[in-house]
Amino acid sequence: MAEFTMELNDEQKEVRDWLHGFAADVIRPAAAEWDEREETPWPVIQEAAKVGIYSLDFYAQQYFDPTGLGIPMAMEELFWGDAGIALSIVGTGLAAVGVLANGTEEQIGTWVPQMYGDAGDVKLAAFCSSEPDAGSDVASMRTRAVYDEAKDEWVINGTKTWATNGGIANVHVVVAVVDPELGSKGHASFIVPPNTPGLSQGQKFKKHGIRASHTAEVILDNVRVPGSCLLGGKEKLDERLARARERAKAGGERVKNAAMATFEASRPAVGAMAVGTARAAYEVALDYATTREQFGRPIIDNQGVAFQLADMRTQIDAARLLVWRASWMAISGKPFTAAEGSMSKLFASETAKKVTAQAIQILGGNGYTREYPVERMHRDSAIYTIFEGTSEIQRLVIARTLSGMPIR
């Protein structure tokens, strides 16, 4: 187990600088265009694949970094470039984490490579959990998966929403109810292979921010997948459901469901995304404040501006500390006894919203126009307090963990 440190090693610094260069030279120049177009930035994703950023190898190297800092460092740099384009590049990773968290070695080896493809044939993946009537309330999920024992197939029916890459992905990972009586404990995750009949894209959403990232509904109409597409396998599922039934009868401890396992693993990474966006806005505001003159002097000479920038930088650094701590704890196998993963996501998300708003204020009228990027950064930052668990849900998770009480 690596000791916790805030100092990147030489290899990590080299990767960080490489990612920063890609974000500065490739992502940022394209950001405004793809935000306006509200389309998946395929040319940028393909360029990321060519240089090795959009690849299973790169993702695995960062995911299994023994310090735990590989993923948050990578996310911060890419999202410093632009949140919408970066999410298009890393969105496949959430589905990959779903397989890594719940799948067998054979399933991981079979499906994760197909989520990325290669530089000559780029693929995408989508993680499908939220539903029109079940976002934070995972117990209300209605998508059903029924086992057809005669054919060793699972039949899936339902509608998913807010799916990044939904409908355009090569591989979909779908969370569905297999035992309605168990509520959220009766869920399982399934791989839906490419070109499976019955899966289609529903509504594509026109969003306030992260417009370059494709977000859509996914319709599942009698989708049949082989038994081997149940993540973890049926034997493991049957054992888990049996334990859940026994504990339900005894009123015992809670059992984590498949979607929650994925979100717990990814929350610090979302915090790192927020840190990247906040840092980008802060840097624009700092540069503007040192060069913009009013009344014959730079506006940073005014305490009202200077103190805002001091607070912005302090909050960004504090957010990064929480994210790195949670990431190190996760890779080290240390339990989140105080919901440290949720803490990192909560604080970093709220920081991004606050810092980007302050950046607009410092730039004044210029900050409110699309000629400067802080307007887009502020719109993008709103998503961090919403997806993969709203700030209110993070507070609920933290409060329940600290108190042990079923707070509602």
- Which residues are the active-site residues? 388
For the record, the structure tokens of 266 come out as 């990814």
> What's the angle, vertex CA 241, arms to CA 238 and CA 243, rounded to 5?
110
Are 163 and 154 in contact by the 8 Å Cβ rule? The answer is no
Question: Could you tell me which residues come within 8 angstroms of residue 108 by beta carbon, excluding any fewer than 6 positions away?
Answer: 99, 100
Instruction: Give the bridge partners for 159, in sequence order.
Output: 219
Cα 317 to Cα 346: distance, rounded to the nearest angstrom: 14
- 147-156: b or e for each residue (b if 16 or more CB lie within 10 Å)? eeeeeebbbb
Alpha carbon of 169 to those of 104, 337, 397: distances in Å?
22, 36, 31
Provide the phi-psi class of 40: left if phi over 0, else alpha when psi is between -120 and 50, else beta.
beta
CA distance 373 to 32: 8
Instruction: Give the Cα separation of 199 and 371 in Å (integer).
Output: 40
Residue 157 and residue 229 in contact, taking contact as beta carbons nearer than 8 Å:
no
In what helix (H) or strand (E) does residue 322 lie, and over which residues does it extend?
Answer: helix 303-331
DSSP 334: -
**In this structure, what is the dihedral angle of CA atoms 84, 88, 90, 96, given to the nearest 10 degrees?**
140
Between CA 161 and CA 202 the distance in angstroms is 9
